[in-house]
Each structure stands twice: as structure tokens, then as C-alpha cells.
Amino acid sequence: TRDPWGHDDSANYLKHALCQIEVERQQSIATRFDRDGQIERGSLVDPWEPLRALTHNLLPHLRFEKIDTSNRNLVQCLWKVHGSEVIVDIDELSSGEKSVIQMFYPLIEREMKHLLAQIGAGQEPGIRPELCVLIDEPELHLHPNLQLKVLDYLRVLTTGTQTQVIVATHSPTIVEYASFEELFLLRPVELVNQEENQLVR
């Protein structure tokens, strides 16, 4: 049996990272309560909202439920299967489902931590720095419809933010769905003069 806290692969890292968000959520609530003596009903933001939105947009057959820490030796990241009462741990998701969550985790983790800061401070934190995310071959483990959803979701995540996403792909599905403004060809360095850019729209 695998150690649920292990870091032997990216799926384990993801589970550990999600559990760390839950620990930070509980600490932020305690910090605020200790400082203010009370927390008004409805005043806390939901730091899990970015993960819920990710699941809704890309994996609509699932709904994120919670991190179950009732058994410290077997912490679980639970999703509910749409249309049923079945609850599954992240370890039970398919490789494609886990791949989608792993791919977007750096973006939603940043947003979740921003929301956690709001819980602890009780107010909106300062301006977030610019962010550039590189994603290599997002099409791996994903069927064509899900590849299109990934591209749409990237557009949603970056609209109105100071976030740039660079995707390297061999997928004809993604290439055909990209707009002219989004699509660049990376030319081999041997075919480019020193003063020219390897990227060509």
C-alpha cells in the first residue's frame, strides 16, 4: 500500500499539495478567530472555489467535495460522481482526470492561496504579480473533446489577468482550434538568423 503522504510521483505531489491547502485553510480560520474573537456568518470566502470551477469546466461528471482529514493516516481528496452518491478519492480518478487537475494546479493553487490570504486577513490582499505558465503537450491522456475544453479553460483563466500561458503541442485538434493570434510556430534555431525570432505567428 502506498504512503498517502509520499512524493514518489506527480499524483502524490498533487494530493499532498491539496492537503496542504486544507491545513492552511484551517489555520487561516483559527488565526482570524483568535484575532477577532468571532467570524461573522457568510464572511468567509471559499478557497476551494477555483478547484470547483476547474472540475465544473473540464470534468463536469465530477464535483469536488472536500479534503477528509478525519483519519490522519489516510487523508482523502474527495470528488462526488455526477448523478450518483458515489464518492471517490483522487487516487481512484482516471489518469486523464488526474492529468487535467495536475496541469492546472499551479494556476488554481495561486488563486486558492490568494483566497486563503483573504480569510486570514479578513480583506482583499494586495496586487498579485504577473505569471507565466509553460505547459508541454497538454494533449497527453486527453481525448479530443477534452483537449478543446482545456484550451477554452485556459482562455477563461487568463482573461482580465496578468497571466500568460505558453503551450507546446503536437495535437492537430489544439492547433486547429487555436485562433490566429494564439498560434505560433517555433522554428529550429539552425533555420533562423541570429537577429530573428524563432517564434513566427
How do residues 124-178 score in pLDDT, each as one tens digit?
666 677 888 888 888 887 888 888 988 998 898 888 888 888 999 999 999 999 9
pLDDT tens, position by position, 54-89: 999 889 999 999 999 888 788 899 999 988 889 999
By the 10 Å C-beta count (0-12 exposed, 13-18 middle, 19+ buried), 77 is classed as buried
Residue 7: is its pLDDT beyond 70?
no
Residue 37, amino acid? G
- 14 vs 89, more confident: 89
pLDDT band at 10 (very low <50, low <70, confident <90, very high): low
pTM of the model: 0.78
Beta-strand (E) ranges in 18-149?
62-68, 76-81, 87-89, 131-136
Cβ atoms within 10 A of the Cβ of 176, count? 10
Question: How much of the chain exceeds pLDDT 90, in percent?
Answer: 37
